[in-house]
Structure 1
């Protein structure tokens, strides 16, 4: 049975994993919109964020319909979204 991830708002870029997932395994995205499947691009622990759509470098990342950070590099659908590829709201890049 696939691991699930909960999408809080339809416009969000990330969903929260309800269990750990290994690279290549399918994650069932539930919550807002139609349920769909995304392949995990890496190992991820429960409670972490999975990209549900591509995010470009410097784009804001949405969760709960709110900005939670900014991408420090391009992030692919299915990729782990964490401190290795995004800045938090307070640590955001200064222009």
Structure 2
């Protein structure tokens, strides 16, 4: 897959990227956002379709994808770390006041 991106960032406001191929812990991926290119070392193995943090995300902070909050962290998440149900509670299906 040389020369092709292995991840996508949907909106410039996003603090996560999505793997479009399986990615190994310890590998470095190239991420293009807001007209700049960054290299991020992955701290976790990332399955295809799963997310990883583009930056440090504090406990209780919003996870942003599509430029919108999709969940809230339950623990601090490091740059390059897997972002999934083990460290995020989804906003999907949650009712106001619940």
TM superposition score normalised by structure 1: 0.87
5 Å-filtered alignment, 1:15-94, equals 15-89=17-91, 90-91=93-94
CA RMSD for the aligned pairs? 2.2
Q: Secondary structure at the match of 2:36?
A: coil
Larger Rg: 2
- After TM superposition, where is structure 1 displaced by more than 6 Å over at least 4 residues in a row? none
Inter-partner Cα distance in structure 1 for 2:51 and 2:58: 16
Aligned residue-pair number: 94
Gaps of 5+ in 2: none
Inter-partner Cα distance in structure 2 for 1:15 and 1:31: 10
- 1:29 shift after superposition: 1.0
Q: Deviations over 1:41-90 (max 9, x none)?
A: 01111111010011000001100001100000000000000000000004
- 1:4 shift after superposition: 2.0
Gaps of 5+ in 1: none
Q: Deviations over 1:7-60 (max 9, x none)?
A: 111121101111111110011113543121100101111111010011000001
